[in-house]
Amino acid sequence: MQLKKINIGKLHTENNIFLAPLAGYTNCVFRSMCFSLGAGLTFTEMVSAKGLCYDSKNTKELLQLPPEYAGLNAVQLFGSDPYFMRKAAESDELSGYDIIDINMGCPVPKIFKNGEGSALLQDIPLASRIVGEVAKCGKPVTVKFRTGVDKNHLVTRDFALAMQDAGASLITIHGRTRDKIYSGPVDFDQIASAKAAVSIPVIANGGVFSVADADGLMDKTGADGIAVARAAMYDPFIFCALSGTPVPDKKAVIKKQIGDTFSLFGERFATVYMRKMLAFYIKGMPGASAIKMKLFRCADRGEIEEILNGLNF
């Protein structure tokens, strides 16, 4: 894959391989780890603009900044009210973030039915007003969206142009419609049509689980870069392969992730979270099913690390 820096407003990323936002997973420790492995830009889990404005404790917990992190900090907001989106972007809680990303692609029914996420694909004027208001915060604004709500309502090119005209500095396109959730083929032609229409950087997202997948996505869409989503949960070391970063001692990296997660988030959350992460990491490993059964019985950090010590990556 051909690496290059991506300009986002007056900022630039380390390279054009991004870690996409992943609800429930891209906390500050995971983001920091992926950056150290070669990701050029990482995003928070999606954060509710109204939750932030109404002082939600759970929302604020998503905004912890990564320790020992030298990259740009990007937060992803979701919402459908331009006023609350701008208010959240200008809040003190986001003062440490360099980039505001707006989620206009989440397919989850609860989000969609509330007029947020991918529901905004059905209302381009409202989506444009949201971007215009958020851009008033003075930070670069990016938008992540899908090709449409279904195959009969593809809006990729028009939506991309509208986001650019409204003030977006970069767009990320998940090459599937909302009804496909995370399955099915990626529509390369739709992403390519948007890339040909706009002058801002276009990041392609969807179906990247290997270097070959990344190369294919770049070649078929003409995109400026790629965003890796689910593959990073199963194998964060994919960023080493994509960026040419030397692969470190995997066990040591994961052990650091465990330690940092327990230090920052407390035992209860960290135990549940790291059980899930380690279960992802061992997928395809001999005896993975038996290891998972032991893993999900772990009650503390020591038991999780004991299982990690017995693994052979």
According to DSSP, the residues that pair with 253 across neighbouring strands are none
202-205/170-174 β-pairing: parallel
Annotated catalytic residue: which of 28, 53, 106, 298? 106
- 306 contact partners, CB below 8 Å, separation of at least 6: none
Distance between CA atoms of residues 106 and 230, nearest Å: 14
Structural element, H or E, at residue 312:
none
Active site residue 106: yes
Distance between CA atoms of residues 33 and 40, nearest Å: 12
According to DSSP, the residues that pair with 171 across neighbouring strands are 143, 202
CA-to-CA separations, 294 to 22, 255, 267, 272, 286, in angstroms, rounded: 26, 18, 18, 13, 14
123-137 burial code (b ≥16 CB/10 A, e <16): ebeebbbbbbbbbeb
Q: Could you give the residue numbers annotated as active site?
A: 106
